């Protein structure tokens, strides 16, 4: 079996292939206007035979960009009469409370494209007003003419409790407009909270034709080249889904790239016995941070994009605009800043020699001495050190700093931004970062890891091999996954056990059916979470329920689990005499992918040498070694720069480490 992962990032497109005793790694510049072109180029330049690829896993920012750039499909929304303006009303909160010109996020569907139908289902699922098919037929003839829209979203009131009317509307629309994609809210987010459910449905509908078109073009090019294997797509929840299944709920593809990196880092760190992690993926455009506990990345039930809520499971990742391509600049107050704007892949940092003139973090590393121009990407990409110096010279004059010193200042600012983001997922959520191992990856992550660890008080750093392509590796390491949710309110009292078992059985049946529909077979492993709260609370606490004991679980045990989870979040959880209720259930079904061989740093044309590094006001010589020259068990002492074809690790003075049997570099402070 030859398995290939291709991940499209903001600056580079990465490929990792494993099978038949070989490991192939390829990096090519991304093509922002046509991500599939960059992905296909990576496959071509890898030299792999397309006909020999059995599984191709893919992650890209296509869905994300479609929303951010407002380049999705033109869609219509069908809502219950009286609820046409729900996407405009939104919630009463304000993102900027002191901004007098503040405007709520613009919906993806214009008001003129929202249509009402007369029907009403109550919160208990009973029907108050029946749907009139004749009225819907008139609406289709009058407004949903062929060619007017590329997709239709349906979000009716209380359809989470009874989806019968939504499914009937979908049948009528499909009959009247054959071939037009139709998305029902009950199939995307079967949960209460009308605005969030409608927003999620609209997002899924908006990106579905974009995703379908992208995958169709990519699959056609693959077929022409001889590919006959299975194409899968990474989802925001950290699981894969065959390409055919993305039409079921395209909103799950919104954050596929960052999710793949977390899964790859978690798998590699787990080989060495590390299960409590802080991963940070520093690529060309941004840094993505995730907290992993007991080998499981945090999973949030809701996220948002461009201010619009999406009620879909997503790895709990915090993103900050600090990457290798982040631009170094001076603000109006005369302060040095780094990011969030990025030079991206085109034109990229000044040192790439593609016309970029803005100074970036990568340019700063070249000038400071922590990136060797002759060894970037294993020597496969030329770096113009003169262009990097020129880009930083103007800022150096403005701040009356030597260019090398200013470069070090910029790097320290980028690191401070990342430290703050890590505190958001750790300290501010009641987790002490010192209890975790820091796992840096991405092309730039290992260059910054030690100084970030020092700022946080972290004692252990694990740098995986081939750190610059861990997101592509994560595409191969991830399981196939399907997530389902359902609002089912039930107060926690005697007899609630039957409700829990019934909800679990119904969701298991739906999961098995969905997995079978996309050609996945086998017995999935299952996770069940109940969203719970004290009666009267506005928001819920996710509580993991033991699936293996679901038939024997008692109301008292469920309450104990809830109080423990509430205590972890809010530092109080016992509520003697307080009523507790379950609000919703969430089921995750996972089918494991095939086992993977460990990553091993590839040999390359690396020459040992020395670099002159400027850091913290000091200038010193730093030895350079190729990572492939370190055998398992080898010791590493700082100061040292360790290069491979995907990234560079900076080990400062005062730190040392070892290469373990899985080729992970474990760093700690020198005794």
**CATH at residue 142:** 3.40.50
Q: How many angstroms separate the first and last alpha carbons of the chain?
A: 46
**Residue 261 pLDDT > 80:** yes
Give the pLDDT of residue 257. 74
Average pLDDT on 548-562 reads: 93
Give the pLDDT of residue 604. 64
**What are the tens digits of pLDDT across the range 365-392?**
999 999 998 888 777 788 999 999 999 9
Contact 280, 439 (CB under 8 A): yes
Same domain, 512 and 586: yes
CA atoms 374, 380, 382, 385: torsion sign: negative
Q: Tell me whether residue 501 is in a domain.
A: yes
**Residue 560 pLDDT > 80:** yes
Q: Tell me whether residue 268 is in a domain.
A: yes
User: Range with the lowest mean pLDDT among 16-20, 391-395, 529-533?
Assistant: 16-20
CA atoms 55, 60, 64, 69: torsion sign: negative
Q: β-pairing, 120-121 with 114-117? A: unpaired
Same domain, 308 and 456: yes
**Residue 598 pLDDT > 80:** no
Q: Tell me whether residue 383 is in a domain.
A: no
The tally of domains found in the chain comes to: 4
Same domain, 218 and 149: no
Helix (H, G, I), strand (E, B) or coil at 420: helix
CA atoms 62, 67, 70, 75: torsion sign: positive
Average pLDDT, the chain: 91
Burial of 221 by CB count in 10 Å (0-12 exposed, 13-18 middle, 19+ buried)?
middle
Q: Which residue in this structure is represented by tokens 């109301």?
A: 555
Q: Tell me whether residue 511 is in a domain.
A: yes
Average pLDDT on 113-142 reads: 94
Q: Tell me whether residue 371 is in a domain.
A: no
Q: Tell me whether residue 648 is in a domain.
A: no
Q: Could you say which of 543, 571, 591 is where a domain stops?
A: 591
Global confidence as pTM:
0.89
Average pLDDT on 328-356 reads: 89
Percent above pLDDT 90 for the chain: 70
Same domain, 168 and 79: yes
Same domain, 452 and 523: no
Give the pLDDT of residue 10. 75
**What are the tens digits of pLDDT across the range 38-88?**
899 999 999 999 999 999 999 988 888 888 888 999 999 999 999 999 999
Same domain, 61 and 90: no
Q: Could you say which of 565, 591, 617 is where a domain stops?
A: 591
Contact 504, 490 (CB under 8 A): no
Q: Give the C-alpha separation, 11 to 442, whole Å.
A: 11
**Residue 270 pLDDT > 90:** yes
Q: Tell me whether residue 352 is in a domain.
A: no
277's tokens? 């992690």
Q: Could you say which of 161, 187, 203 is where a domain stops?
A: 203
Q: Give the C-alpha separation, 338 to 351, whole Å.
A: 17
The dihedrals phi and psi of 453, each to the nearest 5 degrees, come to -60, -40
Average pLDDT on 383-402 reads: 94
Q: Give the C-alpha separation, 547 to 539, whole Å.
A: 24
Report angle CA 588, 87, 120 to the nearest 5 degrees.
80
Q: Give the C-alpha separation, 296 to 312, whole Å.
A: 18
Same domain, 86 and 199: yes
Residues of the domain holding 424: 256-322+415-477
Q: How many CB atoms lie within 10 A of CB 508?
A: 18
229's tokens? 């294997």
**What are the tens digits of pLDDT across the range 224-249?**
999 999 999 999 999 999 998 887 77
Contact 379, 604 (CB under 8 A): yes
Q: Give the C-alpha separation, 329 to 417, whole Å.
A: 15
Same domain, 312 and 190: no
**Does 472 sit behind a cis peptide bond, omega within 30 degrees of 0 on the bond before it?**
no
Same domain, 233 and 303: no
Give the pLDDT of residue 102. 87
Give the pLDDT of residue 328. 95
Same domain, 448 and 562: no
Same domain, 198 and 104: yes
Give the pLDDT of residue 607. 67
CA atoms 29, 262, 267, 375: torsion sign: positive
Query: If pLDDT is split at 50, 70 and 90, which confidence band does 329 have?
Result: very high
Give the pLDDT of residue 262. 94
Burial of 76 by CB count in 10 Å (0-12 exposed, 13-18 middle, 19+ buried)?
buried
Same domain, 461 and 551: no
Q: Tell me whether residue 604 is in a domain.
A: no
Give the pLDDT of residue 52. 92
Q: Give the C-alpha separation, 236 to 37, whole Å.
A: 22
Specify the CATH number for the domain of residue 263.
3.30.420.40
Give 192's contacts (C-beta < 8 A, 6+ positions apart): 123, 158, 160, 487, 583, 584
Query: If pLDDT is split at 50, 70 and 90, which confidence band does 507 have?
Result: very high
């Amino acid at each position: 079996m030859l398995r290939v992962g291709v991940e499209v990032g903001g600056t580079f497109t990465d490929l990792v292939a494993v099978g038949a005793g070989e490991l192939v790694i390829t990096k090519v510049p991304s093509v922002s206007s046509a991500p599939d072109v960059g992905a296909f180029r990576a496959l071509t330049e890898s030299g792999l035979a397309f006909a020999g690829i059995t599984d191709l896993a893919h992650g890209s920012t296509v869905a994300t960009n479609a929303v951010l750039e407002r380049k999705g499909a033109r869609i219509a929304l069908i809502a219950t009469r009286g609820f046409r303006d729900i996407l405009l009303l939104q919630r009463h909160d304000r993102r900027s409370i002191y901004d007098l010109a503040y405007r709520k996020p613009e919906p993806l569907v214009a008001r003129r494209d929202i249509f009402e139908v007369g029907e009403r289902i109550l919160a208990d699922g009973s029907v108050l007003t029946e749907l009139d098919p004749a009225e819907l037929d008139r609406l289709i003839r009058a407004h949903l003419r062929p060619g007017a829209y590329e997709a239709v979203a349906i979000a009716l009131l209380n359809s989470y409790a009874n989806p019968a009317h939504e499914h009937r509307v979908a049948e009528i629309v499909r009959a009247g407009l054959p071939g037009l994609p139709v998305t029902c809210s009950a199939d995307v987010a079967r949960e209460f909270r009308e605005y969030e459910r409608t927003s999620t449905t609209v997002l899924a509908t908006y990106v579905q034709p974009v995703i379908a078109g992208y995958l169709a073009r990519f699959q056609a090019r693959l077929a022409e080249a001889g590919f006959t294997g299975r194409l899968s797509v990474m989802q925001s929840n950290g699981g894969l889904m065959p390409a055919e299944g993305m039409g079921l709920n395209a909103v799950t593809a919104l954050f596929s790239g960052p999710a793949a990196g977390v899964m790859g880092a978690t798998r590699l760190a787990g080989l060495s016995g590390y299960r409590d992690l802080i991963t940070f993926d520093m690529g060309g455009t941004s840094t993505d941070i995730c907290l992993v506990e007991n080998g499981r990345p945090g999973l949030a039930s809701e996220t948002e994009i461009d201010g619009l809520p999406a009620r879909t499971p997503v790895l709990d990742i915090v993103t900050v605009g600090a990457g290798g391509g982040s631009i170094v600049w001076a603000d109006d107050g005369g302060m040095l800043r780094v990011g969030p704007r990025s030079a991206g892949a085109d034109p990229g940092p000044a040192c790439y020699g593609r016309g970029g003139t803005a100074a970036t973090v990568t340019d700063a590393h070249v000038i400071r001495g922590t990136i060797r121009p002759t060894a970037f990407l294993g020597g496969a990409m030329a770096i113009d050190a003169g262009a990097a110096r020129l880009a930083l010279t103007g800022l150096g004059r403005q701040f009356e700093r030597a260019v090398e010193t200013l470069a070090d200042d910029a790097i320290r600012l980028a690191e401070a931004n990342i430290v703050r983001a890590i505190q958001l997922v750790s300290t501010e959520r009641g987790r002490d970062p010192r209890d975790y191992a820091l796992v840096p990856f991405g092309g730039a992550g290992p260059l910054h890891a030690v100084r970030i660890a020092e700022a946080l008080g972290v004692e252990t750093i694990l740098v995986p091999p081939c750190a610059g392509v861990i997101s592509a590796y994560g595409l191969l390491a991830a399981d196939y996954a399907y997530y389902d949710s359902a609002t089912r309110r039930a107060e926690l009292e005697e007899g609630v056990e039957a409700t829990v078992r019934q909800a679990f059985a119904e969701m298991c049946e739906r999961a098995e059916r969905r997995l079978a529909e996309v050609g996945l077979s086998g017995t999935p492993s299952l996770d069940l979470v109940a969203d719970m709260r004290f009666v009267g609370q506005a928001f819920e606490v996710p509580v993991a329920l033991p699936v293996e004991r679901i038939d024997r679980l008692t109301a008292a045990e469920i309450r104990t689990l809830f109080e423990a989870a509430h205590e972890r979040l809010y530092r109080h959880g016992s509520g003697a005499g307080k009523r507790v209720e379950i609000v919703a259930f969430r089921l995750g079904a996972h089918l494991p992918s095939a086992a993977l061989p460990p990553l091993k740093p590839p040999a390359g044309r690396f020459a040992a040498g020395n670099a002159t590094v400027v850091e913290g006001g000091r200038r010193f010589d730093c030895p350079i070694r190729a990572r492939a020259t370190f055998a398992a068990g080898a010791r590493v002492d700082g100061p040292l720069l360790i290069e491979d074809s995907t990234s560079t690790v900076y080990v400062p003075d005062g730190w040392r480490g070892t290469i373990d049997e899985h080729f992970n570099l474990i760093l700690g402070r020198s005794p």
